[in-house]
Structure 1
């Protein structure tokens, strides 16, 4: 019997950036697979809608509004999540943002905002949850990176640098924490239909440029990401750590 290993029944998860877009879809997908989920983001109304959808599936959920750039506030909500869940089996570091500025015009404020959101928050959240997982004997951490961390794209130098660092962080944490049973992996998406890409993907010429670099000739949809994340969170990936799965319609095949 191999397929039951994909189930998350009884598991406890945390998902950041879970109020909208990819984070919301991943939180609901983990719940569909059987997990109870604590959801983190800045906007309470968005989180409450995610909680309602999770609870409609018969799973438990907890909304924890927080600015992930605030390390002290982050520590507080993680304590709340641990008290609520009893244990943390799964962490999905999904929260991220971008400011598309040419390299010669990037300000220090833009650099700090992107790095704090995409990298710093993921590290310190992983550190806190890592302590918990080590004491519990294991767990799965999944970082949502990007193909922009692997190839050079016009997404901006700061965004690409933050995602490349996130991929390297994934490898190093996997190296350090493997002996504790803590697995750390990443997902590298290409373009997906989300609220953050809505304006970009409304430009037909931009879409055609994206599709010209995508062997599968389509933009990604949420179910394309949910499956890989559930896999990495589950016992089906029990011997997998330090890896980045590129969910990109084949884009990185080209190597540019």
Structure 2
């Protein structure tokens, strides 16, 4: 990013990011570290090279905790480890997701459960794990990554869109329940962001052209363009905002 906005309250903040070493999550970790945040993150695949890059760039190393987020006890243990290392979690970024394409008639119970475990269940239990500490501090910010896919009514991944719609509902309920404790809960809903995975697996010439035609800003969105919206929701700059879903999609969906 060029001349990113500064959010002073994130300097020194303890931040936990799921899926924080690749794709949009890697951009989040990078952007948060640039603010001075102490970043811990989990993912299944090795993130040693990414951590090396972050250390060269920022002079400090993120705390990488290998973890399959569908293993809830392991996820809870990773959050506890991060809190011990960096202090009580100030900001949780529920980012990890899997948008594997599928059709309704091919989905069996095992696939449905796998999709919900990654795309929804882990979000709930990560939030549950950080909430007691946030409540004790009297503050905290949880940012749940959703997607505009369910708002568009997209076909091609119904289990994923169902989870994303549920993330919005979960966000609203947690915001209502924990607002009196000073805890804010918002969702960030990216449009089609062209990570390397998206380019490799899903970005056909025809599909990209059709999607860009729906955007008010007809260009391919980059992972780093999601960072400042995330920082805004994570920081006190959005201190009067909770229970909301912020679409960052180039102008495909509208609200209000």
**What is the TM-score when the length of structure 1 is the normalising length?**
0.93
- Spell out the pairing of 1:168-183 with structure 2 (5 A cutoff): 168-183=169-184
Q: Distance in 1 between matches of 2:6 and 2:215?
A: 33
Structure 2 stretches lacking a partner, 5+ long: none
Runs of 4+ in 1 over 2 A off after TM superposition: 3-7, 48-56, 199-202
Structure 1 residues 254 and 184, CA, compared in 2 at 3 Å: closer, same or farther? closer
1:107-143 C-alpha deviation (Å, 9 max, x unpaired): 1111111100010001000001111111121111101
What is the CA-CA distance between 1:199 and the residue it aligns to?
Answer: 2.7
RMSD: 1.8
Farther-moved stretch of structure 1 (105-114 vs 116-125): 105-114
Q: Give secondary structure in 2 for the equivalent of 1:23.
A: helix
Aligned to 2:55: 55
Q: Give secondary structure in 2 for the equivalent of 1:251.
A: coil
1:93-120 C-alpha deviation (Å, 9 max, x unpaired): 0000023111122111111111000100
Structure 1 stretches lacking a partner, 5+ long: none
Structure 1 residues 134 and 250, CA, compared in 2 at 3 Å: closer, same or farther? same
- Spell out the pairing of 1:90-101 with structure 2 (5 A cutoff): 90-101=91-102
Q: Distance in 2 between matches of 1:155 and 1:219?
A: 20
Aligned to 2:74: 73
Structure 1 residues 227 and 155, CA, compared in 2 at 3 Å: closer, same or farther? farther
Structure 1 residues 202 and 74, CA, compared in 2 at 3 Å: closer, same or farther? closer
Mapped contact 1:12–1:85 kept (Cα < 8 A): yes
How many residue pairs are counted as aligned between the two chains? Answer: 251
Structure 1 residues 167 and 6, CA, compared in 2 at 3 Å: closer, same or farther? farther
